[in-house]
Structure 1
Protein backbone atom coordinates (compact mmCIF):
# COMPACT_ATOMS: atom_id res chain seq x y z
CA UNK A 1 0.00 0.00 0.00
CA UNK A 2 1.46 3.44 -0.94
CA UNK A 3 2.45 5.56 2.09
CA UNK A 4 -0.06 8.28 1.23
CA UNK A 5 -2.88 5.74 1.20
CA UNK A 6 -1.69 4.29 4.50
CA UNK A 7 -1.77 7.80 5.98
CA UNK A 8 -5.29 8.29 4.61
CA UNK A 9 -6.53 5.07 6.23
CA UNK A 10 -4.80 5.93 9.52
CA UNK A 11 -6.54 9.31 9.54
CA UNK A 12 -9.95 7.65 9.15
CA UNK A 13 -9.15 5.22 11.97
CA UNK A 14 -7.94 8.10 14.15
CA UNK A 15 -11.16 9.99 13.45
CA UNK A 16 -13.25 6.97 14.46
CA UNK A 17 -11.27 6.57 17.69
CA UNK A 18 -11.58 10.29 18.46
CA UNK A 19 -15.36 10.10 18.00
CA UNK A 20 -15.48 7.12 20.37
CA UNK A 21 -13.45 9.03 22.97
CA UNK A 22 -15.68 12.09 22.62
CA UNK A 23 -18.88 10.09 22.99
CA UNK A 24 -17.41 8.37 26.05
CA UNK A 25 -16.61 11.78 27.53
CA UNK A 26 -20.24 12.80 27.02
CA UNK A 27 -21.47 9.67 28.79
CA UNK A 28 -19.06 10.15 31.69
CA UNK A 29 -19.53 13.93 31.95
CA UNK A 30 -15.88 14.78 31.30
CA UNK A 31 -16.20 18.37 30.07
CA UNK A 32 -12.46 18.89 29.72
CA UNK A 33 -12.14 15.90 27.38
CA UNK A 34 -15.16 17.11 25.40
CA UNK A 35 -13.57 20.52 24.86
CA UNK A 36 -10.29 18.93 23.77
CA UNK A 37 -11.72 16.38 21.35
CA UNK A 38 -14.52 18.27 19.58
CA UNK A 39 -12.29 20.87 17.84
CA UNK A 40 -10.14 18.02 16.49
CA UNK A 41 -12.87 16.52 14.25
CA UNK A 42 -12.63 19.00 11.37
CA UNK A 43 -8.79 19.12 11.17
CA UNK A 44 -8.73 15.32 10.86
CA UNK A 45 -11.31 15.44 8.06
CA UNK A 46 -9.31 18.19 6.32
CA UNK A 47 -6.28 15.89 6.42
CA UNK A 48 -8.45 13.08 5.02
CA UNK A 49 -9.43 15.29 2.06
CA UNK A 50 -5.88 16.48 1.43
CA UNK A 51 -4.41 12.98 1.51
CA UNK A 52 -7.04 11.67 -0.92
CA UNK A 53 -7.21 14.28 -3.68
CA UNK A 54 -4.29 14.65 -6.11
CA UNK A 55 -4.55 18.39 -6.59
CA UNK A 56 -6.66 21.35 -5.67
CA UNK A 57 -10.02 21.43 -7.43
CA UNK A 58 -13.16 23.44 -6.91
CA UNK A 59 -14.70 20.58 -4.92
CA UNK A 60 -11.69 19.98 -2.67
CA UNK A 61 -11.35 23.73 -1.98
CA UNK A 62 -15.03 23.95 -1.00
CA UNK A 63 -14.77 20.88 1.24
CA UNK A 64 -11.70 22.24 3.03
CA UNK A 65 -13.28 25.68 3.44
CA UNK A 66 -16.47 24.09 4.77
CA UNK A 67 -14.45 22.06 7.26
CA UNK A 68 -12.64 25.21 8.42
CA UNK A 69 -16.01 26.81 9.17
CA UNK A 70 -17.13 23.57 10.86
CA UNK A 71 -13.99 23.69 13.02
CA UNK A 72 -14.92 27.23 14.11
CA UNK A 73 -18.43 26.04 14.95
CA UNK A 74 -17.14 23.01 16.86
CA UNK A 75 -14.79 25.22 18.85
CA UNK A 76 -17.55 27.62 19.90
CA UNK A 77 -20.64 25.40 20.12
CA UNK A 78 -20.00 24.33 23.71
CA UNK A 79 -19.80 27.89 25.04
CA UNK A 80 -22.91 29.15 26.79
CA UNK A 81 -22.72 32.84 25.85
CA UNK A 82 -25.35 33.94 23.33
CA UNK A 83 -22.73 35.75 21.25
CA UNK A 84 -20.68 32.58 20.97
CA UNK A 85 -23.75 30.55 20.03
CA UNK A 86 -24.54 33.06 17.30
CA UNK A 87 -21.02 32.84 15.89
CA UNK A 88 -21.24 29.03 16.03
CA UNK A 89 -24.54 29.09 14.10
CA UNK A 90 -23.06 31.43 11.48
CA UNK A 91 -19.96 29.23 11.19
CA UNK A 92 -22.03 26.11 10.56
CA UNK A 93 -24.18 28.12 8.15
CA UNK A 94 -21.09 28.96 6.10
CA UNK A 95 -20.03 25.30 6.22
CA UNK A 96 -23.41 24.22 4.86
CA UNK A 97 -23.17 26.78 2.03
CA UNK A 98 -19.75 25.38 1.07
CA UNK A 99 -21.00 21.78 1.16
CA UNK A 100 -24.05 22.69 -0.91
CA UNK A 101 -21.87 24.37 -3.53
CA UNK A 102 -19.65 21.27 -3.63
CA UNK A 103 -22.68 18.98 -4.01
CA UNK A 104 -24.33 20.85 -6.89
CA UNK A 105 -22.18 19.35 -9.72
CA UNK A 106 -22.59 15.85 -8.28
CA UNK A 107 -26.35 16.35 -7.95
CA UNK A 108 -26.57 17.51 -11.55
CA UNK A 109 -24.68 14.43 -12.80
CA UNK A 110 -26.14 11.65 -10.70
CA UNK A 111 -29.46 12.83 -9.26
CA UNK A 112 -31.80 9.96 -8.61
CA UNK A 113 -35.54 10.59 -8.84
CA UNK A 114 -36.42 8.32 -5.93
CA UNK A 115 -33.84 9.89 -3.63
CA UNK A 116 -34.97 13.37 -4.58
CA UNK A 117 -38.60 12.42 -3.86
CA UNK A 118 -37.60 11.06 -0.47
CA UNK A 119 -35.71 14.28 0.26
CA UNK A 120 -38.75 16.52 -0.21
CA UNK A 121 -39.95 15.97 3.40
CA UNK A 122 -36.67 17.51 4.60
CA UNK A 123 -38.14 20.93 3.88
CA UNK A 124 -41.21 20.12 5.97
CA UNK A 125 -39.08 18.96 8.89
CA UNK A 126 -36.93 22.09 8.83
CA UNK A 127 -39.92 24.45 8.51
CA UNK A 128 -41.75 22.72 11.37
CA UNK A 129 -38.66 22.84 13.57
CA UNK A 130 -38.06 26.51 12.76
CA UNK A 131 -41.64 27.44 13.68
CA UNK A 132 -41.33 25.53 16.95
CA UNK A 133 -37.99 27.15 17.83
CA UNK A 134 -38.84 30.69 16.68
CA UNK A 135 -39.89 31.98 20.11
CA UNK A 136 -36.84 30.55 21.86
CA UNK A 137 -34.39 31.87 19.26
CA UNK A 138 -34.96 35.51 20.23
CA UNK A 139 -32.44 37.85 18.58
CA UNK A 140 -30.84 34.88 16.82
CA UNK A 141 -34.01 34.29 14.77
CA UNK A 142 -32.64 35.67 11.43
CA UNK A 143 -29.49 33.53 11.74
CA UNK A 144 -31.55 30.48 12.66
CA UNK A 145 -33.85 31.07 9.66
CA UNK A 146 -30.87 31.31 7.30
CA UNK A 147 -29.36 28.19 8.84
CA UNK A 148 -32.63 26.28 8.41
CA UNK A 149 -32.74 27.15 4.69
CA UNK A 150 -29.09 26.19 4.21
CA UNK A 151 -29.59 22.93 6.10
CA UNK A 152 -32.61 21.91 4.03
CA UNK A 153 -30.76 22.81 0.81
CA UNK A 154 -27.68 20.79 1.75
CA UNK A 155 -29.75 17.76 2.78
CA UNK A 156 -31.72 17.92 -0.46
CA UNK A 157 -28.58 18.18 -2.62
CA UNK A 158 -26.88 15.36 -0.69
CA UNK A 159 -29.82 13.07 -1.49
CA UNK A 160 -29.14 13.51 -5.21
CA UNK A 161 -25.47 12.51 -4.93
CA UNK A 162 -24.65 8.96 -3.84
CA UNK A 163 -25.57 6.71 -0.95
CA UNK A 164 -22.86 8.08 1.33
CA UNK A 165 -23.70 11.75 0.77
CA UNK A 166 -27.41 11.00 1.14
CA UNK A 167 -26.94 9.22 4.48
CA UNK A 168 -24.47 11.84 5.66
CA UNK A 169 -26.80 14.72 4.79
CA UNK A 170 -29.71 13.02 6.54
CA UNK A 171 -27.69 12.47 9.71
CA UNK A 172 -26.47 16.08 9.56
CA UNK A 173 -30.11 17.20 9.38
CA UNK A 174 -31.00 14.98 12.34
CA UNK A 175 -28.09 16.28 14.39
CA UNK A 176 -28.89 19.95 13.71
CA UNK A 177 -32.57 19.38 14.49
CA UNK A 178 -31.79 17.86 17.89
CA UNK A 179 -29.26 20.61 18.64
CA UNK A 180 -31.84 23.28 17.79
CA UNK A 181 -34.27 21.63 20.20
CA UNK A 182 -31.60 21.63 22.91
CA UNK A 183 -30.79 25.30 22.39
CA UNK A 184 -34.22 26.80 21.67
CA UNK A 185 -36.78 24.29 23.04
CA UNK A 186 -35.63 23.55 26.59
CA UNK A 187 -38.90 21.78 27.37
CA UNK A 188 -38.49 19.29 24.53
CA UNK A 189 -36.25 16.92 26.44
CA UNK A 190 -34.62 13.98 24.67
CA UNK A 191 -32.76 11.42 26.74
CA UNK A 192 -29.00 11.62 26.10
CA UNK A 193 -29.65 14.30 23.48
CA UNK A 194 -26.05 15.54 23.63
CA UNK A 195 -24.79 12.05 22.83
CA UNK A 196 -27.21 11.57 19.93
CA UNK A 197 -26.38 15.01 18.55
CA UNK A 198 -22.67 14.26 18.44
CA UNK A 199 -23.01 10.69 17.15
CA UNK A 200 -25.25 11.77 14.26
CA UNK A 201 -23.09 14.86 13.59
CA UNK A 202 -19.73 13.10 13.55
CA UNK A 203 -20.91 10.07 11.57
CA UNK A 204 -22.96 12.22 9.18
CA UNK A 205 -20.05 14.61 8.62
CA UNK A 206 -17.69 11.72 7.89
CA UNK A 207 -20.13 10.05 5.48
CA UNK A 208 -20.75 13.32 3.66
CA UNK A 209 -17.01 13.85 3.14
CA UNK A 210 -16.48 10.19 2.20
CA UNK A 211 -19.29 10.41 -0.36
CA UNK A 212 -17.79 13.51 -1.92
CA UNK A 213 -14.37 11.86 -2.09
CA UNK A 214 -15.94 8.78 -3.68
CA UNK A 215 -17.35 11.00 -6.42
CA UNK A 216 -13.91 12.35 -7.36
CA UNK A 217 -12.20 10.64 -10.32
CA UNK A 218 -8.66 10.22 -8.94
CA UNK A 219 -6.66 9.60 -5.77
CA UNK A 220 -3.19 10.70 -4.74
CA UNK A 221 -2.04 7.10 -4.34
CA UNK A 222 -3.20 6.38 -7.90
CA UNK A 223 -1.13 9.30 -9.14
CA UNK A 224 1.89 7.99 -7.24
CA UNK A 225 1.95 4.57 -8.91
CA UNK A 226 4.91 4.18 -11.28
CA UNK A 227 3.82 4.45 -14.87
CA UNK A 228 0.24 5.32 -13.98
CA UNK A 229 -1.58 7.68 -16.29
CA UNK A 230 -3.52 10.34 -14.44
CA UNK A 231 -6.55 12.04 -15.91
CA UNK A 232 -8.20 14.62 -13.70
CA UNK A 233 -11.68 15.89 -14.39
CA UNK A 234 -12.32 19.19 -12.66
CA UNK A 235 -15.36 18.97 -10.41
Structure 2
Protein backbone atom coordinates (compact mmCIF):
# COMPACT_ATOMS: atom_id res chain seq x y z
CA UNK A 1 0.00 0.00 0.00
CA UNK A 2 2.73 2.46 -1.02
CA UNK A 3 1.60 6.06 -1.28
CA UNK A 4 -1.26 5.69 1.18
CA UNK A 5 -1.80 8.29 3.94
CA UNK A 6 -0.04 7.62 7.24
CA UNK A 7 -3.31 6.86 9.13
CA UNK A 8 -4.13 4.19 6.53
CA UNK A 9 -0.69 2.59 6.85
CA UNK A 10 -0.99 2.64 10.64
CA UNK A 11 -4.48 1.12 10.50
CA UNK A 12 -3.33 -1.65 8.16
CA UNK A 13 -0.26 -2.28 10.31
CA UNK A 14 -2.43 -2.53 13.41
CA UNK A 15 -4.80 -4.83 11.54
CA UNK A 16 -1.92 -7.11 10.62
CA UNK A 17 -0.71 -7.24 14.23
CA UNK A 18 -4.17 -7.82 15.73
CA UNK A 19 -4.97 -10.42 13.06
CA UNK A 20 -1.81 -12.34 13.92
CA UNK A 21 -2.63 -12.30 17.63
CA UNK A 22 -6.25 -13.27 16.98
CA UNK A 23 -5.36 -16.15 14.68
CA UNK A 24 -2.78 -17.45 17.16
CA UNK A 25 -5.45 -17.35 19.87
CA UNK A 26 -7.93 -19.17 17.62
CA UNK A 27 -5.38 -21.89 16.85
CA UNK A 28 -4.42 -22.38 20.48
CA UNK A 29 -7.94 -21.96 21.87
CA UNK A 30 -7.17 -18.95 24.07
CA UNK A 31 -10.67 -17.44 24.19
CA UNK A 32 -9.53 -14.71 26.57
CA UNK A 33 -7.51 -13.29 23.66
CA UNK A 34 -9.59 -14.26 20.61
CA UNK A 35 -12.87 -12.89 22.00
CA UNK A 36 -11.75 -9.27 22.60
CA UNK A 37 -9.59 -9.05 19.45
CA UNK A 38 -12.29 -10.16 17.00
CA UNK A 39 -14.37 -6.94 17.14
CA UNK A 40 -11.22 -4.88 16.50
CA UNK A 41 -10.53 -6.44 13.10
CA UNK A 42 -13.27 -4.94 10.92
CA UNK A 43 -13.08 -1.63 12.80
CA UNK A 44 -9.42 -1.29 11.77
CA UNK A 45 -10.15 -2.36 8.19
CA UNK A 46 -12.97 0.17 7.91
CA UNK A 47 -10.68 2.85 9.34
CA UNK A 48 -8.05 2.00 6.71
CA UNK A 49 -10.60 2.31 3.91
CA UNK A 50 -12.02 5.55 5.32
CA UNK A 51 -8.63 7.24 5.69
CA UNK A 52 -7.41 6.01 2.29
CA UNK A 53 -10.27 7.76 0.51
CA UNK A 54 -11.54 11.31 0.59
CA UNK A 55 -14.90 12.99 0.21
CA UNK A 56 -16.88 12.71 -1.90
CA UNK A 57 -16.35 8.96 -1.58
CA UNK A 58 -17.53 6.79 -4.44
CA UNK A 59 -20.66 4.68 -4.24
CA UNK A 60 -18.51 1.53 -4.11
CA UNK A 61 -16.46 2.85 -1.18
CA UNK A 62 -19.53 3.97 0.76
CA UNK A 63 -21.31 0.64 0.37
CA UNK A 64 -18.16 -1.28 1.28
CA UNK A 65 -17.96 0.77 4.49
CA UNK A 66 -21.59 -0.16 5.19
CA UNK A 67 -20.77 -3.84 4.62
CA UNK A 68 -17.81 -3.59 6.99
CA UNK A 69 -20.01 -1.94 9.62
CA UNK A 70 -22.54 -4.78 9.44
CA UNK A 71 -19.68 -7.30 9.51
CA UNK A 72 -18.40 -5.64 12.67
CA UNK A 73 -21.86 -5.98 14.20
CA UNK A 74 -21.93 -9.63 13.14
CA UNK A 75 -18.62 -10.17 14.93
CA UNK A 76 -19.64 -8.22 18.02
CA UNK A 77 -23.36 -8.41 18.80
CA UNK A 78 -23.74 -12.22 19.18
CA UNK A 79 -21.44 -12.26 22.21
CA UNK A 80 -24.16 -10.47 24.22
CA UNK A 81 -26.76 -13.26 23.78
CA UNK A 82 -26.71 -17.05 23.96
CA UNK A 83 -27.69 -20.10 21.94
CA UNK A 84 -29.75 -19.89 18.77
CA UNK A 85 -30.33 -16.17 19.29
CA UNK A 86 -26.58 -15.53 19.01
CA UNK A 87 -26.35 -17.52 15.78
CA UNK A 88 -29.38 -15.79 14.28
CA UNK A 89 -28.00 -12.39 15.25
CA UNK A 90 -24.71 -13.22 13.55
CA UNK A 91 -26.44 -14.49 10.42
CA UNK A 92 -28.74 -11.44 10.37
CA UNK A 93 -25.95 -8.88 10.49
CA UNK A 94 -23.80 -10.74 8.01
CA UNK A 95 -26.82 -11.07 5.72
CA UNK A 96 -27.09 -7.27 5.79
CA UNK A 97 -23.37 -7.07 5.01
CA UNK A 98 -23.92 -9.34 2.00
CA UNK A 99 -26.85 -7.18 0.85
CA UNK A 100 -24.55 -4.14 0.97
CA UNK A 101 -21.91 -5.97 -1.06
CA UNK A 102 -24.51 -7.22 -3.57
CA UNK A 103 -25.81 -3.67 -4.07
CA UNK A 104 -22.21 -2.39 -4.33
CA UNK A 105 -21.18 -5.00 -6.91
CA UNK A 106 -24.42 -5.11 -8.94
CA UNK A 107 -23.42 -2.30 -11.37
CA UNK A 108 -20.49 -4.47 -12.49
CA UNK A 109 -22.62 -7.52 -13.33
CA UNK A 110 -21.99 -7.06 -17.05
CA UNK A 111 -18.27 -7.64 -16.37
CA UNK A 112 -18.87 -10.71 -14.19
CA UNK A 113 -19.19 -14.39 -15.03
CA UNK A 114 -22.94 -13.82 -15.27
CA UNK A 115 -22.40 -12.00 -18.57
CA UNK A 116 -19.00 -13.20 -19.79
CA UNK A 117 -18.78 -16.92 -19.02
CA UNK A 118 -21.78 -18.56 -17.42
CA UNK A 119 -20.00 -21.91 -17.37
CA UNK A 120 -17.82 -20.36 -14.66
CA UNK A 121 -20.95 -20.17 -12.49
CA UNK A 122 -20.79 -23.94 -12.08
CA UNK A 123 -18.30 -24.02 -9.16
CA UNK A 124 -20.41 -21.52 -7.22
CA UNK A 125 -23.63 -23.44 -7.84
CA UNK A 126 -21.99 -26.75 -6.93
CA UNK A 127 -20.53 -25.26 -3.74
CA UNK A 128 -23.90 -23.91 -2.58
CA UNK A 129 -25.76 -27.13 -3.44
CA UNK A 130 -23.16 -29.25 -1.63
CA UNK A 131 -23.31 -27.03 1.44
CA UNK A 132 -27.09 -27.29 1.54
CA UNK A 133 -26.94 -31.06 1.09
CA UNK A 134 -24.36 -31.43 3.87
CA UNK A 135 -25.93 -29.01 6.34
CA UNK A 136 -29.71 -29.30 5.78
CA UNK A 137 -30.21 -32.52 7.80
CA UNK A 138 -28.74 -30.92 10.92
CA UNK A 139 -30.02 -27.36 10.45
CA UNK A 140 -33.51 -27.96 11.83
CA UNK A 141 -35.33 -24.67 12.46
CA UNK A 142 -32.29 -22.72 11.24
CA UNK A 143 -32.62 -24.07 7.70
CA UNK A 144 -34.59 -21.16 6.21
CA UNK A 145 -32.33 -18.33 7.49
CA UNK A 146 -29.27 -20.34 6.49
CA UNK A 147 -30.66 -20.86 2.97
CA UNK A 148 -31.45 -17.15 2.62
CA UNK A 149 -28.00 -16.21 3.80
CA UNK A 150 -26.41 -18.79 1.50
CA UNK A 151 -28.26 -17.33 -1.49
CA UNK A 152 -27.04 -13.82 -0.63
CA UNK A 153 -23.49 -15.05 -0.10
CA UNK A 154 -23.44 -16.91 -3.40
CA UNK A 155 -24.85 -13.89 -5.23
CA UNK A 156 -22.18 -11.65 -3.72
CA UNK A 157 -19.39 -14.06 -4.69
CA UNK A 158 -20.62 -14.27 -8.28
CA UNK A 159 -21.01 -10.50 -8.66
CA UNK A 160 -17.54 -10.02 -7.13
CA UNK A 161 -16.06 -11.58 -10.28
CA UNK A 162 -16.91 -8.38 -12.15
CA UNK A 163 -14.58 -6.13 -10.16
CA UNK A 164 -11.13 -7.60 -10.77
CA UNK A 165 -8.97 -10.32 -9.30
CA UNK A 166 -8.68 -9.01 -5.72
CA UNK A 167 -12.42 -8.66 -5.12
CA UNK A 168 -13.14 -11.86 -7.05
CA UNK A 169 -10.81 -13.87 -4.79
CA UNK A 170 -12.11 -12.02 -1.72
CA UNK A 171 -15.69 -12.94 -2.58
CA UNK A 172 -14.74 -16.58 -3.14
CA UNK A 173 -12.90 -16.75 0.19
CA UNK A 174 -15.91 -15.22 1.96
CA UNK A 175 -17.96 -18.10 0.54
CA UNK A 176 -15.37 -20.58 1.83
CA UNK A 177 -15.28 -18.96 5.29
CA UNK A 178 -19.03 -19.03 5.81
CA UNK A 179 -19.23 -22.49 4.30
CA UNK A 180 -16.86 -23.67 7.02
CA UNK A 181 -19.10 -22.05 9.66
CA UNK A 182 -22.15 -23.86 8.28
CA UNK A 183 -20.36 -27.21 8.15
CA UNK A 184 -19.05 -26.81 11.68
CA UNK A 185 -22.48 -25.80 12.99
CA UNK A 186 -24.78 -28.20 11.15
CA UNK A 187 -22.97 -31.00 9.32
CA UNK A 188 -23.43 -34.33 11.02
CA UNK A 189 -20.39 -36.54 11.52
CA UNK A 190 -18.05 -33.93 10.01
CA UNK A 191 -15.24 -32.47 12.09
CA UNK A 192 -12.85 -29.76 10.90
CA UNK A 193 -9.72 -29.43 12.98
CA UNK A 194 -9.09 -25.89 14.27
CA UNK A 195 -12.25 -24.80 12.45
CA UNK A 196 -12.40 -21.37 14.13
CA UNK A 197 -8.87 -20.63 12.93
CA UNK A 198 -9.68 -21.51 9.33
CA UNK A 199 -12.94 -19.57 9.44
CA UNK A 200 -11.25 -16.44 10.72
CA UNK A 201 -8.22 -16.77 8.42
CA UNK A 202 -10.37 -16.97 5.29
CA UNK A 203 -12.73 -14.27 6.60
CA UNK A 204 -9.95 -11.77 7.35
CA UNK A 205 -8.18 -12.39 4.04
CA UNK A 206 -11.50 -12.14 2.17
CA UNK A 207 -12.41 -8.78 3.66
CA UNK A 208 -8.89 -7.37 3.21
CA UNK A 209 -8.80 -8.41 -0.45
CA UNK A 210 -12.20 -6.83 -1.06
CA UNK A 211 -11.06 -3.56 0.51
CA UNK A 212 -7.78 -3.57 -1.44
CA UNK A 213 -9.76 -4.20 -4.62
CA UNK A 214 -12.12 -1.35 -3.78
CA UNK A 215 -9.13 0.96 -3.22
CA UNK A 216 -7.79 -0.02 -6.64
CA UNK A 217 -11.04 1.23 -8.15
CA UNK A 218 -11.49 4.22 -5.86
CA UNK A 219 -10.30 6.64 -8.52
CA UNK A 220 -12.76 5.34 -11.09
CA UNK A 221 -15.58 7.92 -11.45
CA UNK A 222 -18.02 5.15 -12.38
CA UNK A 223 -17.33 3.18 -9.17
Fold shared per TM-score above 0.5: yes
Contact 1:106–1:215, Cα closer than 8 Å, also in 2? no
Q: Tell me what 2:43 maps to.
A: 43
Q: Does 1:168 align with 2:147?
A: no
Pairwise CA RMSD of aligned residues?
Answer: 2.3
Contact 1:127–1:148, Cα closer than 8 Å, also in 2? no
Render the CA deviation track for 1:22-69: whole Å, top value 9, x for unaligned: 011112221011111111111111111211222233222211111111
Secondary structure of the residue aligned to 1:216 is: coil
Q: Tell me what 2:13 maps to.
A: 13
Q: Tell me what 1:133 maps to.
A: 135
Which structure: larger Rg? 1
Q: Tell me the distance in 2 between the aligned counterparts of 1:176 and 1:3.
A: 33
Q: Tell me the distance in 2 between the aligned counterparts of 1:216 and 1:192.
A: 36
| Distance 1:167-1:99 versus aligned 2 partners, 3 A rule | same
Q: Tell me what 1:64 maps to.
A: 65
Give the alignment's TM-score, normalised by structure 2. 0.89
Render the CA deviation track for 1:82-132: whole Å, top value 9, x for unaligned: 111001001111101101111122343x44677764343112211221132
Q: Tell me the distance in 2 between the aligned counterparts of 1:210 and 1:80.
A: 34
Give the alignment's TM-score, normalised by structure 1. 0.85
Q: How far does residue 159 in structure 1 lie from its aligned partner after superposition?
A: 1.6
| Gap regions ≥5 residues in structure 2 | none
Q: Does 1:201 align with 2:203?
A: yes
| Gap regions ≥5 residues in structure 1 | 219-232
Q: How far does residue 16 in structure 1 lie from its aligned partner after superposition?
A: 1.3
Contact 1:115–1:160, Cα closer than 8 Å, also in 2? no
1:151-162 matched pairs, under 5 angstroms: 151-162=153-164
Secondary structure of the residue aligned to 1:156 is: helix
Q: How far does residue 14 in structure 1 lie from its aligned partner after superposition?
A: 1.3
Contact 2:112–2:158, Cα closer than 8 Å, also in 1? no
Moved more, 170-179 or 7-16: 7-16
